Structure 1
Amino acid sequence: MKKQKKQFRMPTAFTVLILLTIVVAIITQFIPAITPATAADVIMAPIDGVLPARWALPCSCSFWAAFWAW
């Protein structure tokens, strides 16, 4: 009985982004002109990137107008 080879599956976009974030954090440890990234910086990077988008939401929408007025 032959074993079947597993087919290669492309990683998801989320996996690629997390790996890129970790690679950039490691690289910052070796470049003296850049402040080294800490573990907290790496974990908070996706959250810090999304927060400014919150303020860009249109408030003319009735849901958001009601949400922010509450």
Structure 2
Amino acid sequence: MKWAPQGLEKIKQWKKRIGALPLVGIGGLTPERATGVLEAGANSVAVVTDIILHKKPEERTQQWIKVTQKWR
């Protein structure tokens, strides 16, 4: 299913609609964008491309771990 980018305001609206159900941010995410997505109400984020296409995937993974630590 194709979805257009939702943006942070839309994430807030989605979370309000679904209440306690988990909301996962997926697609186009970077560590720099993850904080906003999580602060907007996502319970977690999913990442693949940002890590596997990075020139130093191990370092990028460590960046992800550091950025998401607050929400664990």
Please identify which structure carries the higher strand content. Answer: 2
* Alignment TM-score > 0.5, same fold: no
TM-score by length of 1: 0.32
Higher relative contact order (CA 8 A, sep 6+): 2
Which has the higher Rg, Structure 1 or Structure 2?
A: 1
